[in-house]
Amino acid sequence: MAGFFCRGYGPVIWLIGSGGMLGTELSRVFAEAGMAYTGTDLEVDITQGASLEDFAEQRGPFRWIVNCAAYTAVDKAEEEAALCRRLNADGPAHIAALAGKTGGTLIHISTDYVFNGKGIYSGDPPERRPYREDDPPDPIGIYGRTKWEGERKVLEGTERAYIIRTAWLYGRYGKNFVTTMLDLMRKRDRLSVVRDQRGSPTWARNLAEVITAFIARGEEGRAVPYGIYHYSNQGDISWFEFAQRIYARGRDLGILTGDCRVIPCTSDEYPSRVKRPGYSVLDKTRLKEALGITIPEWDRSLEAFLKIIRGTDA
């Protein structure tokens, strides 16, 4: 893939939140694809429109703005609601306003937490199906409510926006379920994991490649329609089943050497300040048809990730 540059203006892409798990992964994927970008993290305050405008004036204009910045501490959000709202709602509003003003295209990352996790039932007899982009949001906590508010503000601020909702994200560059499980499995001989929450694990690398595909299509003059899209790896499991697979493959690959028994428990038995969605499976049909891609199965992506972990630890 050829590198993309604005004539006389430098990088085409502004990656906001480049120091986080997804942002760091995106930085690597952009570099590998030869895509010119500039990344910012805490040095640009997304809650201040003037801070964003100053940076864009100095380093832009940018044809693409990718926003990976967010407040993601789900439990702590209940205590820090104002800060959570500034980062998840006010920040995206400022970014969208800037994109609308400068004519850039915004890619904003959102979450399955905009839904209540009860699922949507259809058919006769009724069966639960994955959430579609047009299903009504109904968040159950501060984190989910502020992310949904951020989505609305993005769509109000610019017509040139893609919102990508994802779920159960893990990767190399931040705290997440897979690396946490591996760490605990090295330290303990017994581990309880909830069995009544179901979703689709998502490797940050795969999501970064999808974001890159959106940009590449746009730069090639084949942009897909603006709006909301869902992305996670294919298939669905419970957290308990996910932990079981992490342990089994971790042992097979030599990442884990000790014994650890993974035990199922219910959400009620697991201490948490905020209720998590019981069902987080997202329908990816719209994205697959728009980009013409096949989405990797969750177990294959986990396998690839664990082999990278093994190589890093070796």
- Give the whole-angstrom CA distance, residue 262 versus residue 29: 34
Query: What residue type is assigned to position 70 of the chain?
Result: A
Return d(Cα 278, Cα 220) in angstroms, integer: 40
77 within 8 A of 147, measured Cβ to Cβ: no
Candidate list 37, 131, 143, 229, residue with the active-site label = 143
Rg for the chain, CA atoms, rounded: 20
Give bridge partners of residue 198 from the DSSP assignment. Answer: 238, 279
Residue whose tokens read 């997304």: 46
Give 170's strand partners. 203
Cα-based angle 22, 276, 229 (whole degrees, multiple of 5): 45
3-state secondary structure of 36: coil
Q: Is the peptide bond before 61 cis (omega within 30 degrees of 0)?
A: yes
Reply yes or no on whether 279 is catalytic: no
Which tokens in the block code for residue 40? 């910012």
Task: Enumerate residues 6+ apart whose C-beta is below 8 A from 183.
Answer: none
**Residue 267 CB-half CA count within 13 A:** 13
Query: Cis peptide before 271, with omega less than 30 degrees from 0?
Result: no
Residue 169 is given by DSSP the state: E
Token pair in block for residue 188? 């303990």
Active site residues: 143
